[in-house]
Amino acid sequence: MDPTDVNSQVTFQNREAPLPVAILGTGIAVCWIANYVGMLRKSYQDRTYAMALMPLCCNFAWELVHGLITPEKNGMWPAVYVCWSGLNVAVIYTAMKFAPNEWEHAPLVQRNIRYIFAVSIVGWISAHLALVAHIGPHLAQAWGAVVCQLLLSAGGLCQLLVRGSTRGTSFFLWITRFIGTSLCLPHEILRYHYGYTDVVFNSPLGWWGTAAFFVLDGSYGICLWHMHEYEQVTWNKGGDRPKQT
């Protein structure tokens, strides 16, 4: 399928999803709802933000574009995106509230967090809308999700390594994110099996994106486990409890 062929995008668009596909889609939605709620809890617990700032803005912009600005007329996903974006508003609020705690070493960033969020969100909205104009809303939704996830995985791994602690994260946050995105693979395989022609993962770039996700998020889980073990050993030896900012 030519990804720039707008006419090919609407094939099966009005078709009701088979039950296995719908079940996996529900699993994806529930895992990410749990992740957002978990991020809110962890942010208040550790007085910091859980998701890296740029991926957070990109993700929120994607949800706004495909949930409110260019939603599909059929299926469950527009409603899911609206639900996610509502939770993301709260996540962004906590990020703006606690981000200054993480940027004491960079006063310019610390004093302008709100402007950074505003400019980043507007910029990412324009990027997602440009993708919609280029390949149509249906394919832009899928490819935009790939970009969001890879940015989130890479940004999360970098944030974990830079902080050097489990502050702002947890195994629950990682596993809900990992499972929620991993379910996309069998979801898309089943869609391909049922004859859908808009499966973006069935392409070299889609295969690369899938592999990159598992490498990045798998590495995140390994690093998180090692940091958690180190913190526990240090704490048990009478050292300071892992810093909570």
Give the per-residue pLDDT at 191.
92
Q: In whole angstroms, what is the distance from residue 115 CA to residue 242 CA?
A: 31
User: Considering only CA atoms, which of 239, 191, 200 is closest in space to residue 1?
Assistant: 200
Tokens of 150: 């890879």
Evaluate if residue 236 carries a pLDDT over 80: no
User: Considering only CA atoms, which of 153, 201, 159, 155 is closest in space to residue 178?
Assistant: 153
Q: What is the mean pLDDT of the chain?
A: 90
Q: In whole angstroms, what is the distance from residue 213 CA to residue 98 CA?
A: 28
- This prediction's pTM: 0.88
Q: In whole angstroms, what is the distance from residue 35 CA to residue 180 CA?
A: 9
Give the per-residue pLDDT at 4.
40
- In this predicted model, what pLDDT tens digit does every residue of 209-231 receive, in sequence order? 999 999 999 999 999 999 999 99
